Chain A
Amino acid sequence: MKFDTIIIGGGLAGLTAGISLVNKGQKTLIVSSGQSALHFFSGSFELLSSSDNPFDAMKSLPVSHPYSKIGKDNILRLAGSAVPFFKSAGVTLSGESSHKRVTPMGFLKNAWLTSDGLLTVPADGTLPWKKAAVVNISGFLDFHSPFVCAGLEKCGLECREFAVTLPELEKLRHNPTEMRSTNIAKTLTGEVLDKFAAEIERVSAGCDVVILPAVVGIQDESECKRLCSLVSRPVKMVATFPPSVPGIRIQVQLKRQFCAAGGTFMLGDTVTEGVFEGGLLKGIYTRNHGDTLLTADNFVIASGSFFSHGLVAERNRVYEPVFGLDVLASDERGEWFATDIFENQPYMSFGLSVDNEFRPSLGGVTIGNLRAVGSVLGGFNPLKEGCGAGVAILTAMRVAELIS
């Protein structure tokens, strides 16, 4: 089976690259070994949240950092195109001005692009409302109103806590540990959403804004919009503990867009072998397709980090399991960790060693038609620097440009 480009990995980076390439008319295949880390999405994409001024701070990043490899001018250009890019894929993001997101623990963190409908706080920390109704669902354990209220009260918002329920939501409590954001979102549609809106309207009387856990709209944005239109006060949502409804919505929407534009998405399949010849990757074999060689002119590896098994750590080595590509990682286990857990952990920066056009190497030989994007890359610390999503989106966009 022949494609123009085959992408290994179907998360944020793989799908961003995939949509960019199909939009340019490429016959593109994504092979994904399972669902992605978008299911644990915070609600906001970060660019470099450790800094209040990310574009300035990027200038002082080391040359090995993926942002440095993209280059300042390219970053500005590509970052500017992100909102319309996602908009055309059916994902509405707000990111016009610098703002903060609200974590499920009630902390405020610098954000870049935030999923539509989620509560954001402007950089100056002032909100346009005085009194907020923070409304949880009875029995839902992945959202803690007191934490969120405590955070918002620091912004001068007076918060009142409520819990609402409906017979349909009570049913979910039969299995209390499995009452998750996604099960709630699947229940809160159609007529049930109307009843839910009426409950919210009732309890929030006298408040200026309603704040809810993000448990509405798993398939697309229409149910969120409908809920907002049914309540007379502004409705804003805050991310819950995982799984993340806004994240799954983005995953579903991006995959839908990729397939609608003509891309092929193979979920639940794993690459078993790469066929290399003269410094090029000729094709891949996968578990599901057995002896059928999948060939392409170009390949992209977007297999993620440790969580997605894009990187694997054994006792004394860290390796890339798909092709065995060269990895930036210390051989000395003692150098993987810092003793203080909150310190900069070196293993977080492990990943593929690539050239300035994101081409990884195998046994020291650069693979000319293979590029790496997203968190499988080495040279950055997504957690400490707050740049995981930014690196995923911008490296994917950059690589799609380099390929076509």
Chain B
Amino acid sequence: MEKERESIEYNFEQCIKCTVCTVYCPVVAVNPDYPGPKQAGPDGERYRLKNPLFYDEALDMCLNCKRCEVACPSGVRVGDIIQNARLKYGTKKPRLRDFMLASTDLMGSVATVVAPVANASLSLKPVKAVMDCTLGVDKHRTFPKYSSQKFVTWFRKHARKAQDAFPKKVSYFHGCYANYNFPQLAKDFVTVMNAVGYGVNLLEDEKCCGVALISNGFKKRATKQAQTNLAALREAVGRGEPVLTTSSTCTFTIRDEYAHILGLDNSDVRDSVMLAVRFLFNLVDSGKVKLVFREDFRRKIAYHTPCHMEKLGWGIYPVSLLKMIPGVDLTVLDSNCCGIAGTYGFKKEHYADSQKIGEPLFNQIKSLAPDVVATDCETCKWQIEMSTGYPVANPVSILAEALDIEATMKANA
């Protein structure tokens, strides 16, 4: 019955100034120069409506983690108000660095071609020092490795044909990371879906979801890419296929940010776009699919809930799936932002805050000493691997390894 307070324009009026959002803001906790979500969001909006000169460049310090929105007792879309204000009133021009960090498709396409060279040079100290000085990419940051073969290329060569054997189909929005950096995740996804009796289609034309473009101020390009993606999603959904994903941030961006930040109508496809873990859990929970696990699989796993997963409210799906594996000893880590927030933690001006924000999480992981950390977000993975030394895997990859693939295929034939 509760009416959705969808209109962003006047949503700030729901704010009763209780300050709960500020209590849960990860940036405020480490950097008092950030005015906090209440001040930057609903409070500031009143002033900005009067005069855009009241815009405060400190809003660039917002991570867009949306923890303020999850905490708000009054349904105020605090994070959206801040992001919209940045795009509308921000006066700083995006830098070359921001362009490079945000252009995941362009950089990925180039880097995969010259992957060995790109990977080697991005880890060299002198290269890092130059990038630090000239571009403002912090030299302490470890870059994700690029793959020499894109997932899409592999899929067309080695997996495409086999999909025809499955009468039931899903579409896959792989995202930039699985395509350019870590095709193994996408391969694991195909393995798991095939094992439970679903064939995988790729989208007709997939672009980066645009999250990095939005956070770096490229609203026009983000909108264009979103429109291309929406057309591709509509086609898949029109065929009756749900569109599955393996990245919580891509999922959140397509489902929520397209409408709330870019102002695009995604209502016809929104409910069909979901993380593979949600789709799988619902199949198992309703008895439509059986998972058969290897008897020799043993892992001590610590699960980290990414901020955008908290916002989606879907942490229960990967956690429930991981709990189904008999040999798994699972701990759900305390809800704490890892600090990287996509491209945020790459920037020199944010690097120190980024590491400080993640510190409680890193400490908890170190004290648990798991075999592997599980999480649904690729940038959380980079941050945790770099800052703790522990390996991080997507729950889908862990499932692929834990499943007895042949037995699962038989059980679902």
Q: Restricting to A375-397, which residues have a CB under 8 Å from any CB of B?
A: none
A35-B20, A183-B28, A307-B73 are known contacts. Are A322 and B316 too (CB-CB below 8 A)?
A: no
When chains A and B are docked, how far (Å) is the Cα of A287 from the Cα of B36? 27
Q: Separation in Å of the B49 CB from the closest CB of chain A?
A: 20
Can you give 23 A-B contacts (C-beta < 8 A)? Answer: A1-B285, A34-B72, A34-B73, A35-B20, A35-B73, A39-B20, A173-B32, A180-B23, A182-B19, A186-B29, A242-B19, A243-B18, A243-B23, A248-B23, A259-B332, A270-B2, A273-B1, A287-B4, A288-B312, A288-B313, A288-B314, A292-B278, A308-B73
A268-B310, A288-B312 are known contacts. Are A178 and B22 too (CB-CB below 8 A)?
A: yes
Q: Other than A175-B33, A268-B310, give 18 A-B pairs with Cβ distance below 8 A.
A: A2-B285, A34-B20, A34-B72, A35-B24, A35-B71, A39-B18, A174-B32, A175-B36, A178-B38, A182-B22, A183-B32, A267-B310, A268-B70, A288-B312, A289-B313, A291-B271, A292-B278, A307-B73
**A68 is an interface residue with CB less than 8 A from chain B:** no
**A336 is an interface residue with CB less than 8 A from chain B:** no
Asked whether B71 lies within 8 Å of A40 as measured between CB atoms, the reply is no
Contact with B1, one of A243, A288, A323 (Cβ below 8 angstroms): A323
Asked whether B32 lies within 8 Å of A172 as measured between CB atoms, the reply is yes
Contact with B39, one of A35, A175, A266, A267 (Cβ below 8 angstroms): A175
Asked whether B36 lies within 8 Å of A267 as measured between CB atoms, the reply is no
Asked whether A171 lies within 8 Å of B32 as measured between CB atoms, the reply is yes
Q: Which residues of A contact B20 (CB under 8 A)?
A: 34-35, 39, 243
Q: Separation in Å of the A19 CB from the closest CB of chain B?
A: 17
Among residues of B, the one whose C-beta sits closest to the C-beta of A1 is B285
Among residues of A, the one whose C-beta sits closest to the C-beta of B33 is A174
Among residues of B, the one whose C-beta sits closest to the C-beta of A172 is B32
Asked whether B23 lies within 8 Å of A266 as measured between CB atoms, the reply is no
Among residues of A, the one whose C-beta sits closest to the C-beta of B270 is A290
Q: Which residues of B contact A36 (CB under 8 A)?
A: 73
Q: Separation in Å of the A302 CB from the closest CB of chain B?
A: 14
Among residues of A, the one whose C-beta sits closest to the C-beta of B2 is A321
**B69 is an interface residue with CB less than 8 A from chain A:** yes
- 9 closest residue pairs by CB, A with B: A288-B313, A268-B70, A34-B73, A321-B2, A182-B23, A269-B313, A35-B71, A35-B20, A174-B32
**A51 is an interface residue with CB less than 8 A from chain B:** no
Interface string of A167-185 (1 = CB under 8 A from B): 0000111110110101100
The count of chain B contact residues (Cβ–Cβ below 8 Å) is 37
When chains A and B are docked, how far (Å) is the Cα of A289 from the Cα of B332? 20
Contact with B32, one of A175, A259, A309 (Cβ below 8 angstroms): A175
Asked whether A267 lies within 8 Å of B73 as measured between CB atoms, the reply is no
A39-B23, A268-B70, A308-B73 are known contacts. Are A178 and B35 too (CB-CB below 8 A)?
A: yes
Asked whether B71 lies within 8 Å of A290 as measured between CB atoms, the reply is no
Q: Restricting to B45-70, which residues have a CB under 8 Å from any CB of A?
A: 69-70
Among residues of B, the one whose C-beta sits closest to the C-beta of A267 is B70
Most buried by A among B4, B16, B23: B23
When chains A and B are docked, how far (Å) is the Cα of A175 from the Cα of B311? 27
A242-B18, A324-B1 are known contacts. Are A268 and B32 too (CB-CB below 8 A)?
A: no
**B136 is an interface residue with CB less than 8 A from chain A:** no
Contact with B316, one of A171, A266, A272 (Cβ below 8 angstroms): A266
When chains A and B are docked, how far (Å) is the Cα of A26 from the Cα of B316? 17
Q: Separation in Å of the A260 CB from the closest CB of chain B?
A: 10
Most buried by A among B1, B74, B316: B1
Q: Separation in Å of the B41 CB from the closest CB of chain A?
A: 12
Q: Separation in Å of the A166 CB from the closest CB of chain B?
A: 13
Asked whether A290 lies within 8 Å of B35 as measured between CB atoms, the reply is no
Asked whether A33 lies within 8 Å of B73 as measured between CB atoms, the reply is yes
Interface string of A303-346 (1 = CB under 8 A from B): 00001110000000001011110000000000000000000000
When chains A and B are docked, how far (Å) is the Cα of A367 from the Cα of B291? 37
Asked whether B75 lies within 8 Å of A309 as measured between CB atoms, the reply is yes
**B282 is an interface residue with CB less than 8 A from chain A:** yes
Q: Which residues of B contact A273 (CB under 8 A)?
A: 1
When chains A and B are docked, how far (Å) is the Cα of A177 from the Cα of B316? 37
Asked whether A268 lies within 8 Å of B313 as measured between CB atoms, the reply is yes
Q: Restricting to A239-285, which residues have a CB under 8 Å from any CB of B?
A: 242-243, 248, 259, 264, 266-273
Among residues of A, the one whose C-beta sits closest to the C-beta of B36 is A178
Asked whether B316 lies within 8 Å of A264 as measured between CB atoms, the reply is yes
Asked whether A243 lies within 8 Å of B312 as measured between CB atoms, the reply is no
Asked whether B32 lies within 8 Å of A180 as measured between CB atoms, the reply is no
Among residues of A, the one whose C-beta sits closest to the C-beta of B312 is A288
Contact with A178, one of B28, B282, B332 (Cβ below 8 angstroms): B28
When chains A and B are docked, how far (Å) is the Cα of A174 from the Cα of B74? 28
Q: Restricting to B1-44, which residues have a CB under 8 Å from any CB of A?
A: 1-2, 4, 16, 18-20, 22-24, 28-29, 32-36, 38-39
Most buried by A among B32, B72, B75, B314: B32
A34-B73, A34-B74, A309-B74 are known contacts. Are A266 and B35 too (CB-CB below 8 A)?
A: no
When chains A and B are docked, how far (Å) is the Cα of A182 from the Cα of B29? 9
Interface string of B260-296 (1 = CB under 8 A from A): 0000000000010000001000100100000000000
Contact with B19, one of A34, A243, A289 (Cβ below 8 angstroms): A243
When chains A and B are docked, how far (Å) is the Cα of A250 from the Cα of B24? 15
Most buried by A among B2, B278, B282, B332: B2
Q: Which residues of A contact B38 (CB under 8 A)?
A: 178
When chains A and B are docked, how far (Å) is the Cα of A2 from the Cα of B4? 26
